[in-house]
Amino acid sequence: MKTSKKIGKLSLLSLLGALFALASCGPTNASSSSSPEEESSSASSETKSESSSITSSSSEESSSESSLYQGDPKTFRFYCINDFHGSIVNRGNEVGLQKLFSFLKSEVDKDPEHTFVFSAGDMFQGSWESNSNYGKFITEAMNAVPFTAGALGNHDFDYGLEALKDLRDLAAFPMLGSNIYYYGTETKWEEAGSSLLVEKDGVKIGIIGTIGQGQTTSIQSNIVKDFDFIDPVPIIKEESKKLREKGAQIIVNIAHNKSTSLNSFTFTGGAKPYFDGCFLGHSHQAERVIRQGVPYIQGGCNGRQYSYFELKIDELGVTYDNANYFDAPSFMEIDPVFIELENKYLDEAFYTKTNEVLANLTGTRLDSHGVARLGVKAMYEEYKSLHPDLVCTMENSQRATLYTGPFTYGELYQATPFMNHFVVAKVLGGEIKRQASYNSTYTGDYETYATLNDDTYYTCGIIDYVYYHRDTNKDFDYFPSATNPENIIHEYVDYPVDITARYLKNTLHGEINGLDFEQDSPGFCLYGR
């Protein structure tokens, strides 16, 4: 009799859910052309209040009994930022850490019992303000909000494993990477968390954090040579089951990847049995997708936007509302805690270096490819004296544009922010030509080296990310000759931004004409791109 009563109760709830879903299948919002099952938005950041009528499926073992809720209806608010990339300073259309984090802290302060703040990865790497302290400023600021959890992104590994462990120890929230395993094993990397269970206002809420499959190829290979970033979908299902068994009534997934990486949920009954909402990252594109009652939201990058949704729980299950990405507030009263942190980490000496004018740019602006050509020529000019047989240099670590007029060290750093080393090695001409199609190259002796023999070894200077790059099978795929360590002549701990800064000051004497760094300028792109 006891079993019969339970089945009857589940059937009644399923019937009520179906009737509720049918009742809501009226005309869609006039501002949206998407179907009820899948809606997307890539430009608008205005609030769209849309409440999902699809509840947790009672046919799934992982979410049937555990998702039943008998209390009063409750609504929880979830915020997330992704791909912040060290955007601490208010610069251009980036509002900066003080305003964005003050906003997030104020939202938590209003209702801490029903508010969560997450990161979907790539928080630290990308600016001199963050790299100068290896992400500690941002981590302490996240503690002050406070963030509930963060998913690791590929660039969160850029400082190296020891620095990442230091940030994890400093963080008052867990850094999650449930699908990071030791390569060739079934052993999870123990330094990252898998999931988190939090109870607020009598409701147990689970959080799962994942990184995109195969993102080892987006990280300096030597840092993660022992790791494998496996398919997150079965891991999410496994973690969800564990959380449900512990009583989780709401589950949120934080994925450092775009929504299409989780498409397989759509073809196997939907993600609803496993999570009720998902925050995204990595692609740097504002994204809003609703699939089978689950919102997937990504808010662009560099703190320009944040992601948000509300999840309501009642006797019918969990539904979403107000799921979208929104522009970060440009007018916001700054919380004193963030002013104190800035004073702690960015002192007078820091700003003296940041504000140093390196050069005056005339002729034309330098987009990211132009900055790469500037950088690769700077490398050649400096290291040719140390390696007279240097044939060419190769570089690809640029991210922003330099505009005409005076520019500072801080602006150059934003344009070329990665802390790559410079490797001088013997590589095959065929390897150089293949990789030149994707990376900027320069030679000062373009008459002699206008063409290269595929099977001849040449001395080449290359940033470490490119030279050591490996595929998901851990094979050197950009420069297979790197398999032989004897081909390495020397590795310099010298960052592209500093090599470029010295070139601007000491060789160009603070004057640069952008026309000298066009794609067809002498010495550039002889082998491709």
Residue 314 lies in a domain: yes
Q: Half-sphere exposure of 226 toward its Cβ, with a 13 Å CA cutoff?
A: 8
Q: pLDDT grade, residue 529 (50/70/90)?
A: low
Mean pLDDT, range 493-509, rounded to an integer? 97
CA-closest candidate to residue 119, choices 18, 211, 31, 198: 211
Check residue 334 and report its DSSP letter. P
Give residue 384's pLDDT.
Answer: 97
Cβ burial, residue 437 (10 Å; 0-12/13-18/19+) = exposed
CATH of the domain at 387: 3.90.780.10
52 has a pLDDT exceeding 80: no
293, 417: one domain: no
Check residue 333 and report its DSSP letter. P
Give residue 415's pLDDT.
Answer: 94
Rounded Cα–Cα distance for residues 456 and 377 (Å):
23
CATH of the domain at 160: 3.60.21.10
Three-class SS of residue 47? coil
332, 384: one domain: no
| Domain housing 318 | 34-345
CA-closest candidate to residue 98, choices 132, 141, 147: 141
Alpha-helix runs per DSSP H in 111-176? 128-131, 136-144, 161-170
Alpha-helix runs per DSSP H in 146-246? 161-170, 232-245
CA-closest candidate to residue 379, choices 326, 342, 423: 423
301, 370: one domain: no
481 has a pLDDT exceeding 80: yes
Helix axes 336-345, 97-110, angle to 10 degrees: 140
Alpha-helix runs per DSSP H in 191-249? 232-245
Residue 308 lies in a domain: yes
Rounded Cα–Cα distance for residues 302 and 463 (Å):
24
Mean pLDDT, range 67-83, rounded to an integer? 91
Rounded Cα–Cα distance for residues 272 and 265 (Å):
9
Mean pLDDT, range 167-190, rounded to an integer? 97
**CB of 226 closer than 8 Å to CB of 188:** no
Give residue 70's pLDDT.
Answer: 85
Give residue 30's pLDDT.
Answer: 31
215 has a pLDDT exceeding 60: yes
Give residue 62's pLDDT.
Answer: 37
CB atoms within 10 A of CB 112: 11
Longest dimension (CA), the chain: 91
DSSP 366-421: B-HHHHHHHHHHHHHHHHTTT-TTEEEEEE----SPBPSEEEEHHHHHHHS-----
**CB of 152 closer than 8 Å to CB of 159:** no
384, 275: one domain: no
50, 154: one domain: yes
CA-closest candidate to residue 116, choices 160, 91, 79, 161: 79
Give residue 201's pLDDT.
Answer: 97
* Structure tokens given for 192: 């990252």
Which residues in 352-371 are b (16+ Cβ under 10 Å) and which e?
Answer: eebeeebbebeeeebbbbbb
Cβ burial, residue 498 (10 Å; 0-12/13-18/19+) = middle
247 has a pLDDT exceeding 70: yes
316, 168: one domain: yes
Q: pLDDT grade, residue 37 (50/70/90)?
A: very low
Q: Using one digit for the tens of pLDDT, what is the confidence trace for 284-326? A: 999 999 999 999 999 999 999 999 999 999 999 999 999 999 9
Give residue 120's pLDDT.
Answer: 98
Q: Which helix (H) or strand (E) holds 197?
A: strand 195-200
Q: Using one digit for the tens of pLDDT, what is the confidence trace for 414-429? A: 999 999 999 999 999 9
Decide: pTM greater than 0.75.
yes
Which residues in 95-107 are b (16+ Cβ under 10 Å) and which e?
Answer: bbbbbbbbbbbeb
Residue 179 lies in a domain: yes
Mean pLDDT, range 452-480, rounded to an integer? 97
395, 252: one domain: no
CB atoms within 10 A of CB 12: 10
Mean pLDDT, range 476-494, rounded to an integer? 97
Rounded Cα–Cα distance for residues 220 and 82 (Å):
20
Give residue 527's pLDDT.
Answer: 86
398, 484: one domain: yes
Residue 9 lies in a domain: no
250, 392: one domain: no
Q: pLDDT grade, residue 69 (50/70/90)?
A: confident
Mean pLDDT, range 204-209, rounded to an integer? 98
Residue 526 lies in a domain: no
Mean pLDDT, range 479-500, rounded to an integer? 97
26 has a pLDDT exceeding 60: no
316, 400: one domain: no
Cβ burial, residue 400 (10 Å; 0-12/13-18/19+) = buried
* The total number of structural domains that make up the chain: 2
Rounded Cα–Cα distance for residues 437 and 137 (Å):
38
Domain boundary among 323, 345, 367: 345
Residue 241 lies in a domain: yes
Q: Mean pLDDT score of the chain, rounded to an integer?
A: 88
**CB of 262 closer than 8 Å to CB of 45:** no
Give residue 3's pLDDT.
Answer: 35
Alpha carbon 446 to its chain's center: 38
**Residues paired with 408 in a beta bridge:** 357
Residue 487 lies in a domain: yes
Residue 146 lies in a domain: yes
CA-closest candidate to residue 498, choices 416, 404, 397: 416
Rounded Cα–Cα distance for residues 394 and 268 (Å):
45
Domain boundary among 282, 313, 345: 345
Rg of the chain, C-alpha, whole Å: 26
48, 170: one domain: yes
16 has a pLDDT exceeding 70: no
Domain boundary among 312, 345, 378: 345
498, 392: one domain: yes
Give residue 402's pLDDT.
Answer: 97
